[in-house]
Amino acid sequence: MAHIKAGSIRKGMYILFKNKPFQVVKTDFMSPGKGSAFMRCKLKDVVSGTVQDFTYKSTESVEELDIQSREMQFLYAGAGEVVFMDGRTFEQVGVPRSLLVDQVELLTPEITCYIIFYDGEALGVTLPPKVSLKVVTAHEAASGNTMGQARKMVELETGMQVSAPVFVKTDDVLVIDTATKQYVSRGS
């Protein structure tokens, strides 16, 4: 673990705050004309997911966590955990479902994700920016439904429902943005 000055804190870093690991979600460096500079940070508790604001003086020392990121393959989702496997060592790791929040419905067998570890414990899961999912149910669009963009709800192979253009049919493959969970394009 390295100590850094608070003025060097950047978005995406992991720091130790109140003896718990936090991810820096947002930073705002302020340098008033009078007085010392300070860094406003929005910190996300990686265990509970709560977000809080904290202000550091720019000269304060902050402990940056030594985080490891491992590329792993999704195997299956259980009741309380999601299981991933390291493709090189075949080691299986159970990640609490709470770390994925509502992204479990974007996971398909053999999708590759990055698991973030601290002290041997999983802190987070980073999905690829886009995933391809097959449409299992796509009802015919109602005629005259063309105010703005013509859209309809379709069900994907993972059970997730997404709004897609009316030309999408059953068995089509769609590209979905993992951040917004919205239709991007038709896949191949």
Q: Which long-range contacts (CB under 8 A, 24 or more apart) does 57-61 make?
A: 57/6, 58/5, 58/6, 58/7, 58/29, 58/31, 59/5, 59/6, 59/7, 60/5, 60/6, 61/3, 61/4, 61/5, 61/6
Answer yes or no: do 79 and 118 share one domain. Answer: yes
Question: pLDDT tens, 121-143?
Answer: 887 788 888 888 888 888 876 66
Asked if 167 and 144 sit in the same domain, the reply is: yes
- The reply to whether 6 and 44 lie within a common domain is yes
pLDDT digits (tens, 9 = 90+) for 28-80: 888 888 888 888 889 888 777 788 888 888 888 888 888 888 899 999 888 88
Tell me which residue range forms the domain holding 181: 130-186
End-of-domain residue from the set 79, 111, 126: 126
Does residue 106 share a domain with residue 83?
Answer: yes
User: pTM for this structure?
Assistant: 0.69
Burial class (CB in 10 A: 0-12, 13-18, 19+), 116: buried
Instruction: Return the pLDDT at 145.
Output: 53
The DSSP code for 118 is E
Are 172 and 140 found together in one domain?
yes
Same structural domain for residues 134 and 176? yes
- Angle (nearest 5°) at CA 162 between 144 and 100: 165
What is the domain-level CATH number for residue 32? 2.30.30.30
**Do 46 and 98 fall within a single domain?**
no
Q: Which band of pLDDT confidence, cut at 50, 70 and 90, is reported for residue 105?
A: confident
The total number of structural domains that make up the chain: 3
15/55 same-domain check: yes
From the CB of residue 159, how many other CB atoms can be counted at a distance below 10 Å? Answer: 9
Query: Which residues are paired to 116 by β-bridges?
Result: 69, 124
CATH of the domain at 180: 2.40.50.140
Residue where a domain terminates, one of 64, 94, 117: 64
